[in-house]
């Protein structure tokens, strides 16, 4: 039976970790993910789980210890945010190229500078090409559910890649919401025991981890790693289907909210999707056919599937909660626009930067955005060349475009 509870996103993730009972957790505190290792270490002290907690001197050391324990055959996780993730940068690539199924809880926060501790996707998006699977949550329920599915995906024999489970800092990590928890026994059965085929502490193991790769072989290793990311696509869907059987909650690469008959849509990631859904409900009452495509899985990137879901639309706003600093927009905008081009979709698109460093996004902002999408569909571009939603600016323009 499901258990109804009230929890913050960090609490929900820690509860899932208790149910999984992993072998090793190295971690270094950084806001707003600090509560996760705090909760887990308290559970260890109270005898609720027998995870080995490793306090380290930095996030670089945290990921290095995670690589060591995972290579030794232990089910391993860690947690971090923002500059902590950036400090891991070098070893993120090592974890992925060594094909180690580490789980990392990423509580999304702005990278410096200026220094800011609020929600932004610049940390995990900056690591989007490091070889890690990335799954994002809109709310606390999804943060819990995604955590339960993580090891089933990462440890699959056709994948064996590390995985980031991401949620928005403070907006979900510290906000308390109603949540449906699974009982311990179904979770234990669903996640299963970790039985790696190869690991360094196995007595007859002849495998090496992390050796220097000469040019004659390194390219083949990278191609095999890329194939593992491709394989993760089907594994993610298969695991989600199994999870639905025990939870009643359905997951895929993305969620379509009133999208099938929509004329205009927004594509977004994370907690802002709740605000967008409220705006859609209001607009639908007025006869405006607005829709949402909420991205759950960013790596592997389901571009073909998203393009298929969006190809009937007249106009699409692709929203990025991070700045790509490429003078054209953000990473979701770049990758989805390319997918829509390959699919020969006719929808007009605009990439909008929003919510940086925790900037609020209101329902009224989204309603205005849909109105302007309707104008865009008619050939009237109100967004300007490089739109920022809700930016303080001299022009008084809603998108900060000095035209």
H/E element, 323:
none
Question: Each residue of 236-280: pLDDT tens digit?
Answer: 999 999 999 999 999 999 999 999 999 999 999 999 999 999 999
CA distance 388 to 333: 13
Which tokens sit at 292?
Answer: 């949402």
Q: Look at phi and psi of residue 325 and say left if phi exceeds 0, alpha if psi is from -120 to 50, else beta.
A: left
Question: Each residue of 310-355: pLDDT tens digit?
Answer: 999 999 999 999 999 999 999 999 999 999 999 999 999 999 999 9
- Please say if the pLDDT value at position 55 is more than 80: yes
**Average pLDDT for 367-386:** 95
Q: At what angle do helices 215-247 and 184-191 cross, to 10 degrees?
A: 150
> Which residues share a beta bridge with 6?
178
pLDDT value of position 210 = 87
Tell me which of 62-76, 113-127, 384-398 is least confident. Answer: 384-398
pLDDT value of position 403 = 44
pLDDT value of position 392 = 86
Which tokens sit at 328?
Answer: 């054209």
H helix runs in 155-194, sequence order: 184-191
> Which residues share a beta bridge with 5?
179
CA distance 357 to 391: 12
**Average pLDDT for 66-83:** 98
pLDDT value of position 21 = 98
- Please say if the pLDDT value at position 366 is more than 60: yes
Burial class of 224 by CB neighbour count within 10 A (0 to 12, 13 to 18, 19+):
exposed
**Average pLDDT for 192-211:** 92
Q: Which pTM value belongs to this model?
A: 0.97
pLDDT value of position 207 = 86
H/E element, 112:
none
What 8-state DSSP symbol labels residue 388? Answer: B
- Matching residue, tokens 């509870």: 5
Confirm if 150 and 141 have CB atoms less than 8 A apart: no
């Amino acid at each position: 039976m499901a258990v109804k509870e009230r929890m913050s996103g960090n609490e929900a993730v820690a509860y899932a970790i208790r149910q999984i009972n992993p072998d090793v957790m190295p971690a270094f505190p950084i806001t707003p993910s600090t509560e996760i290792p705090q909760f887990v270490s308290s559970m260890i002290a109270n005898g609720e789980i027998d995870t080995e907690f490793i306090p380290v001197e930095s996030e670089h050391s945290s990921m290095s210890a995670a690589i060591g324990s995972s290579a030794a055959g232990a089910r391993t996780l860690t947690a971090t945010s923002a500059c902590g993730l950036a400090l891991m940068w070098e070893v993120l690539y090592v974890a992925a190229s060594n094909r180690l199924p580490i789980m990392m809880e990423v509580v999304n926060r702005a990278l410096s500078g200026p220094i800011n501790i609020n929600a932004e996707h610049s940390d995990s998006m900056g690591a989007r090409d490091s070889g890690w699977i990335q799954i994002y949550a809109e709310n606390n329920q999804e943060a819990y559910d995604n955590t339960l599915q993580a090891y089933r995906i990462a440890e699959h024999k056709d994948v064996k890649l590390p995985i980031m489970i991401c949620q928005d800092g403070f907006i979900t990590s510290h906000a308390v919401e109603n949540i449906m928890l699974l009982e311990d026994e179904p979770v234990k059965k669903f996640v299963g025991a970790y039985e790696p085929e190869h690991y360094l502490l196995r007595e007859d193991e002849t495998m090496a981890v992390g050796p220097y790769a000469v040019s004659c072989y390194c390219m083949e290793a990278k191609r095999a790693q890329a194939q593992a990311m491709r394989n993760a696509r089907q594994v993610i869907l298969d695991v989600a289907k199994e999870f639905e059987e025990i939870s009643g909650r359905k997951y895929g690469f993305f969620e379509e909210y009133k999208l099938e008959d929509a004329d205009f849509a927004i594509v977004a990631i994370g907690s802002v999707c709740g605000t967008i859904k409220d705006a859609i409900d209001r607009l639908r009452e007025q006869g405006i056919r607005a829709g949402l495509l909420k991205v759950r899985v960013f790596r592997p990137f389901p571009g073909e599937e998203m393009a298929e879901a969006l190809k009937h639309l007249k106009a699409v706003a692709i929203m990025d909660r991070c700045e790509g600093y490429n003078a054209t927009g953000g990473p979701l905008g770049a990758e989805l626009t390319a997918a829509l081009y390959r699919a020969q979709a006719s929808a007009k698109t605009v990439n909008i930067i929003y919510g940086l460093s925790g900037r609020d996004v209101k329902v009224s902002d989204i309603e205005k955005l849909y109105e302007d999408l309707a104008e865009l569909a008619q050939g009237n571009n109100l967004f300007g060349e490089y739109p920022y939603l809700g930016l303080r600016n001299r022009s008084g323009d809603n998108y900060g475009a000095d035209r």
